[in-house]
Copies of this chain bind each other. A is one copy, B any other.
């Protein structure tokens, strides 16, 4: 499927027309649309997983789980909008006695308008056609146009058919959802005046190019990009001393999971110098099988990526083989090692993401050196610390909090819970915004505030009616009330 420019204009015009209907729809209606999509995906799980497996090599177990994650996500957003806090309804009553006199003012968040969503290669369901960006935009009343990922085009088309049919049969307006494909269509979408925001999950170069387009429009629009992440892990001396083998097993499981194709893969592991951890990790990694990667392009890029790390001065191979034919044989795990001093010397070369089952151990000689090396690590989705209870890690945790959107203790970053508290987004380049792309608050990306001054109640959204007919949390005259 290729989308000509003329077609695209029709698609975005239909989305703009639908936006008027979706903005006026009630939360209950939109919740029903989301639920209908979730039900339809669940009903077609076998067919969808089969297509996805043929296109992505991810295997039916993982893919079936991912469909479950995707439909749970749609249902969470239905719950979020039903709960009502997401509207951030605020009422300040008039105060004629104030100096100056205060008008009646009522504020609410409204849908921003049609949203373009760029699918990810590595999550053909959860970050693709009916994934988190789509679900959170639809939830708050924004039509969505998805740019399919070339790595799973057939799945994208089939998923889109199911989504469109489910939305229509649940009463959603035509034009609320569309799928386009091809690089040109994606570029045109970001520049189309009807598009009011963009959600993107992908590479740094690709994402930055689209970000640059979005912000250089005559009317710049928010570009919510998740562009890559190194996900540093710090292991303390005490932790290595206490549980080196367990840590090595955990890390081996995490960096090889899904052939290392997660945006939360731990790509940098800071360990104290002079321990047995590298040997333990080599042992724990050696049985991890080679696995086929998502696409030919990704598989072909893995070995050169490994080589560019291996070629750096001061880098040694702890386990695995750099020169591999990942396309023919699957991607096999490789563990590298270097020193923090070396990272400080060539941060640009060593602190770069290598997509696939590989990680870089970085030996530090002191807390001070660790802090200096961490200061060179670009913004990440996650940062992890493994320490023992008696240690004072407050300064380290503070530094990691500045570096990442999620800070983990004694765990591994792969695995991202979909709930109210999740933060999947960190300082640039991890994301290009102050928001999350996973979890309840992801909806805020697609809302803009409007305040109504001295408005007749009949014209206001029910959330702002005096009697609170929706029974939702609101702030009234400065005081938060639950209903």
Q: Which residues, 81 to 97 on A, are CB-close (under 8 Å) to B?
A: 83, 85, 88, 90-92
A32 at interface by CB-CB < 8 Å: no
Given A427-B448, A480-B85, verify A421-B106 contact (CB < 8 Å).
Answer: yes
CA distance A441 to B90 in the complex (A): 10
Question: Which one of A36-44, A48-56, A280-288, A394-402 is at the interface?
Answer: A394-402
Evaluate contact between B432 and A448: CB separation under 8 angstroms: no
Q: Is the CB of A421 within 8 A of B112?
A: no
Q: Mark A444-483, 1 if CB is under 8 A from B, else 0.
A: 0001111111111001000000000000010100101010
Chain B residues, CB < 8 A from A419: 92, 102, 105, 478
Chain B residue at minimal CB-CB distance from A452? B407
Q: Per-position contact with B for A382-408: 1 when CB-CB < 8 Å, else 0? A: 000000010001100110011011111
A397 B451 Cβ-Cβ under 8 A: no
Interface bits A189-218 vs B (CB < 8 Å: 1, else 0): 000000000000000000000011001100
Whether A454 contacts B222 by the Cβ 8 Å rule is no
* Contact between B219 and A428, CB atoms less than 8 A apart: yes
Q: How far is the CB of A425 from chain B (nearest CB, A)?
A: 7
The answer to whether the Cβ of A265 comes within 8 Å of any Cβ in the partner chain is: no
Q: With A20-B398, A421-B451 as known contacts, state yes or no: A480 contacts B478, CB within 8 Å.
A: no
Residues of chain B lying within 8 A (CB to CB) of residue A393: 459
User: Interface size bucket, A side?
Assistant: 35 or more
- B-binding segment of A127-135, A355-363, A409-417: A409-417
The answer to whether the Cβ of A174 comes within 8 Å of any Cβ in the partner chain is no
The answer for the CA separation of A447 and B434 in the assembled complex, in Å, is: 8
A411 & B453 in contact (Cβ 8 Å cutoff): yes
Assembly CA distance A432 to B449 (angstroms) = 13
Known: A415-B100, A447-B434, A456-B389. A422 touches B480 (CB 8 A): no
A211's nearest neighbour on chain B, judged by CB, is: B220
A147 within 8 A of B: no
Task: Check A450–B107 contact: CB distance below 8 A.
Answer: no
Residues of B within 8 A of A478 (CB): 79, 83, 419-420
The 9 tightest CB contacts between A and B, nearest first, are A423-B451, A215-B215, A90-B421, A107-B421, A92-B421, A105-B421, A408-B453, A423-B449, A406-B451
Q: List 18 A-B contacts (CB under 8 A).
A: A79-B478, A90-B421, A92-B417, A106-B421, A113-B402, A393-B459, A397-B455, A405-B451, A406-B450, A408-B453, A408-B454, A409-B455, A409-B459, A420-B478, A421-B451, A422-B451, A423-B451, A441-B449
Residues of chain A whose beta carbon lies under 8 Å from any beta carbon of chain B: 20, 23-24, 65, 79, 83, 85, 88, 90-92, 100, 102-103, 105-107, 110, 112-113, 211-212, 215-216, 219-220, 222, 379, 389, 393-394, 397-398, 401-402, 404-411, 415, 417, 419-423, 425, 427-429, 432-436, 441, 447-456, 459, 473, 475, 478, 480, 482
